[in-house]
Amino acid sequence: MSSHINHHLISVENISKKFKRPRSFKKENGFIKNIFQRDYKKAVDDISFQIDEGEMVGLIGPNGAGKTVTLKMLSGILRPDKGNIVIAGLNPYKDRKKYVAGIGVVFGQKSQITYDLTPLDTYGVLKSIYKIPDNIYQDNLERFCDLLEVGGYISQPVYSVSMGQKVRAELVCALLHSPKILFLDEATIGIDVIGKEKIQKCLRELNKSDKLTMIFTSHDMKDIENTCDRLMIIDEGKMIYDGSRELLCEKYSSQRIMEVEFEKPQKDIRLDNVICTDSENNPMSKYLHYNHSDVDYNEMILKLMNEYPVKDISIREPEIEYIIREIYKKNGRNL
């Protein structure tokens, strides 16, 4: 194993995972052909990355890209067919018992909370499973229930609470034993905007106060934008991007939006290769949409300032979702 692998909190080297998949059989002269042959699909194909303590990483890709399989290998649920994973000095699947004490996991499709019990009942069970000391349990219970606003329904049966309340209660389950790493797979699915904002705020606060390290998959790009500074994009099991949000915008998107506020309302703005739209929030403002490869920025600003009563100008970066769609469009794939 490489000597550098222990220098990072999470080190992943050349992991792959394949699964058997059903195949259609053809009849030939009345007999089924190839009935004993097996067909495999690579869910994860030779990917490597390192993550340091305190990083908030968004794992992005379409359905079937390999995101969930990657998280399951990182959490020790699945074993890679090849490659190495070392997390906090441990192998997730070989050192599973010791390893799970230091991680928290929330899979959006699987619940830790029993449907007809209260969240508090489940927390008591987890206290025993993780052998959490009484004082730490009480401190964490108060802290996380307060952060995620779970206290108001902690003693209600789970079947009587909303989806957003249930997911926040699930997140408390994942945090009770003070993990240093959190894996979230579509954890906010089905939650309204307010519920998502509460979860995003909690995760940012824990990252700042506890140096919580997180890998977050979500089809809602706002989840990723509002929590993660680093993005990893997977397509058909391969890593196609690993870097910062800012670099992704700079590298892949030539589209820009300029918000211009005027001294008085303007009916229209006429500039070459620029599309003008109204601002929904401010009648004094317009949005100018342009491709920076087609427009000379300095010339555009000069013309604006000379021909229109400009009060203020700000550049808005394109949304991550737009950029991801552009990447897949270039690759002939849909997100």
Strand order in the sheet with 255-262: 274-278, 285-291, 255-262, 310-316
Distance CA 266, CA 269 (A): 7
Residue pLDDT tens, the chain, 335 long: 334 445 799 999 999 999 886 665 555 555 555 555 567 788 999 999 999 999 999 998 888 889 999 999 999 999 999 999 999 999 999 999 899 999 999 987 777 888 889 999 999 999 999 999 999 999 999 999 999 999 999 999 999 998 889 999 999 999 999 999 999 998 888 788 888 888 999 999 999 999 999 999 988 888 888 899 999 999 889 998 999 988 887 776 677 788 999 999 998 888 989 989 888 888 899 989 888 778 888 888 999 999 999 999 987 766 677 777 777 766 655 55
Q: What are phi and psi of 79, to 5 degrees?
A: -105, 130
The counts of H helices and E strands in the chain are 10, 15
End-to-end CA distance of the chain: 36
DSSP 80: -
Helix (H/G/I), strand (E/B), else coil: 93: coil
Distance CA 258, CA 253 (A): 14
Whether residue 182 contacts residue 88, with contact meaning beta carbons closer than 8 Å, is answered with: no
In 3D, which of 80, 104, 105, 85 has the Cα closest to residue 95?
A: 85
Whether residue 193 contacts residue 84, with contact meaning beta carbons closer than 8 Å, is answered with: no
In 3D, which of 332, 295, 335 has the Cα closest to residue 315?
A: 295
All domains in the chain, ordered by first residue: 3-249 (3.40.50.300), 254-316 (3.30.70)
Q: What is the pTM of this model?
A: 0.76
Give the 3-state secondary structure percentages of the chain, helix then strand then coil, rounded to 5.
Answer: 35, 30, 35
